[in-house]
Structure 1
Amino acid sequence: MEKTITIDGKQVRLKTTAATPKRFKIQFGRDYFAELLKFAKVLEPLQTDMKKNEVVAGESINLKNISFESLSLLDFDTLYDIVWVLAKSADNSIPDPLTWLDQFDSFPIAEIMPEIQELLAHSIKTEKK
C-alpha cells in the first residue's frame, strides 16, 4: 500500500510492503510489530474519543487527550523511525534517518499520525483464504 502525505509543506511518499518490518529491524534493531503494538495501546483511546466526537478523518489527533500512563508507552523517536522506514520503502534513494529528518523544519506528529494509521493497519492486517 502506498500513500503520499504532506510533511512541513513537502510531499512525502510512504509505502508499506512485506519487507517493511525487516527494513525496520535492520535499520533500528527493534521489532516493527512490537513498536506498532505499543502505539496501538496509546492510539486506541484516542480513536474511540475521535469516533464519539465524530471527528473528520485526517483531522489532527489531540495529544492533550493522551493519559500519562499511555504517554509513558509513547516514544516519539519510534514514530520518526516508522515514518522514515515507510518513506524508505517508497523511495530507496532517501538518505539515513537523521539526514532525512533534517530536511524538515517541523515534523508535526499530531498531523502525521492520522495520515499513516491506514498504512500501519495494512502492515499488520491478515487475510484468510
Structure 2
Amino acid sequence: MEKTIILGNKKVKLVSSGASPIIYKANFQSDFFQDLGIILELAGIATSDKSEIEIMTEVMGNNRIRIFQQFAWTYAKNANQAILTLDEWLAEFEEFPIFDILSEVIELVVTSLSTKKA
C-alpha cells in the first residue's frame, strides 16, 4: 500500500510492502512484528476514552514514541531509498505530530497484515 501524508509542513510518501519488516530489522536490529504490538497498543491508547493528559502519559512510556518514529521512517524509506538515517530524517521536520499521523501509519500496518479474500 502507498500513501502520501503531511508531516509537519512536508508531503511524505509512505509505502508498506513485504520489504518493510526487512528494512526495519536491518536498520533498528529489532523485530518488526514484536514492535508491531506496541504500535497497535498506541492505536488503542489514542482511541480510548481517557483524557488527553492520560493518553499522552501512556504514549510517552516504554519507548513507544521512538518505535512509532521507526515505523514511520521504515515506510518512508521503503518509498524512497535515498532518505537519511532516522535521526537525520526527524531533524528535517520542525514538528512530528504523532497523533496527526497515527491513524495513517496504523492503516498501512493493518493493510499490510490483512488477507485478501478470493
TM superposition score normalised by structure 1: 0.77
Aligned equivalents of 1:7, 1:67: Cα separation in 2: 19
Partner Cα separation in structure 2 for residue 24 and residue 36 of structure 1: 11
Structure 2 counterpart of 1:76: 65
Gapped runs of 5+ residues in structure 1? 50-61
Pairing 1:40–2:40 present = yes
- 2:29 and 2:82 map into 1 onto residues whose CA distance is 21
Instruction: Quote the residue 1:66 is aligned against.
Output: 55
SS in structure 1 opposite 2:94?
coil
Distance 1:85 1:69, change over 3 A: closer
Give the letter for the 2:44 counterpart. E
Q: 5+ unaligned residues in a row in structure 2: which ranges? A: none
Superposition deviation, residue 25 in structure 1: 0.4
Q: Which residue of 1 aligns with 2:3?
A: 3
Tell me how many residue pairs correspond in the alignment: 117
Letter in 2 for 1:122: T
Percent identical pairs in the alignment equals 31
TM-score by length of 2: 0.84
Query: 1:73, CA displacement in angstroms?
Result: 4.5
Task: Say if 1:63 and 1:14 are closer, same or farther in 2 by CA, change over 3 A.
Answer: farther
Counterpart CA distance in 2 for 1:128 and 1:77 is 34
Asked if the contact 2:25–2:32 (Cα under 8 Å) also holds between the matched residues in 1, the reply is yes
- 1:29 and 2:22 matched: no
Q: Is the 8 A contact 1:35 1:78 kept in 2?
A: yes
